[in-house]
Amino acid sequence: MPQADSLRSPESEWDLTMNERSFIFRPMSQPQLEPTLDRRTQILDAALVCFAKRGFHQTSMHDISAEAGISVGLIYRYFANKETVISAMADRHKKEIQEVLERARQAPTLLESLEILFTAHCCENSPKLLSAFVVDLYAEASRNPQVANLVRDVLQTSMDGVTDLIARSPEGKNAAGGLTPDELSELIFAVARGMLMRDVLQPQEMTAAERRTAQLEVVRRLWRLLFTNTMELAGV
């Protein structure tokens, strides 16, 4: 006989919506979704917090259940182990990346597209938590082949999207040193990874406004380094 928990949606469950500034789904006040999707989202959001605070390797399914406020047995009805949790998080993240890339494609200049990409999560409630999670995930990828495959897949989705943005733009044809769209994308992502590490190591949490200003300044410096004769094209 089904448990009562599977037949109702407690008030404590989170509603799911997409904050279009972000790569992450966040709990916000929206109409109730289907219980199964809502429960999975609750578990994935709790897992993000646990992985960021304890690391993937040190986090147990019991930790995730405690963070989500549900029984560990209920988690196993949705996910067989931590690897299936992280796989679901990767799938969700790829969809979010596509949403942000679509917004970036609508921007009139490549500079504005890059600004959208770099500031995508700067206004989140806990951006430092997200940065810590990503940094730990890279470390886990060096030990766990399954996680490494997931990380490579997500990164490839992101890099392919940025490479396409550069290749389609007039500005992309004026890169410093004749760099190709693929090479430019590699450099841009190297800077993005460095910014994640800075988020983790800096002693104080920045406000959303401070974070956005800092991110935009990095983008514009990167722009000046990578592109030549594009100031008129970009309107800056």
Q: Domain coordinates of the chain in residue numbers?
A: 6-234
pLDDT tens digits along 44-97 = 999 999 999 999 989 999 999 999 999 999 999 999 999 999 999 999 989 989
Q: Which of 36, 63, 56, 232 is nearest to 132 (CA)?
A: 56
For residue 205, pLDDT over 80 is answered with no
pLDDT category of residue 201 using cuts at 50, 70 and 90: confident
Long-range contacts, stretch 90-93, CB < 8 angstroms, 24+ apart: 90/150, 90/151, 90/153, 90/154, 92/25, 92/44, 93/23, 93/24, 93/154
Percentage, residues of the chain above pLDDT 90:
46
Tell me the residue length of the chain: 236
Q: Which of 95, 98, 75, 73 is nearest to 85 (CA)?
A: 75
For residue 27, pLDDT over 50 is answered with no
Instruction: Specify the pTM.
Output: 0.73
- Torsion over CA: 211, 219, 19, 139 (sign): negative
DSSP E strands, 20-153:
25-27
pLDDT of residue 161: 94
Class of domain 6-234: mainly alpha
User: Cα separations (Å) of 211 from 40, 121, 124, 126?
Assistant: 30, 10, 10, 12
pLDDT category of residue 212 using cuts at 50, 70 and 90: confident
For residue 162, pLDDT over 90 is answered with yes
The whole-angstrom separation of Cα 53 and Cα 21 is: 24
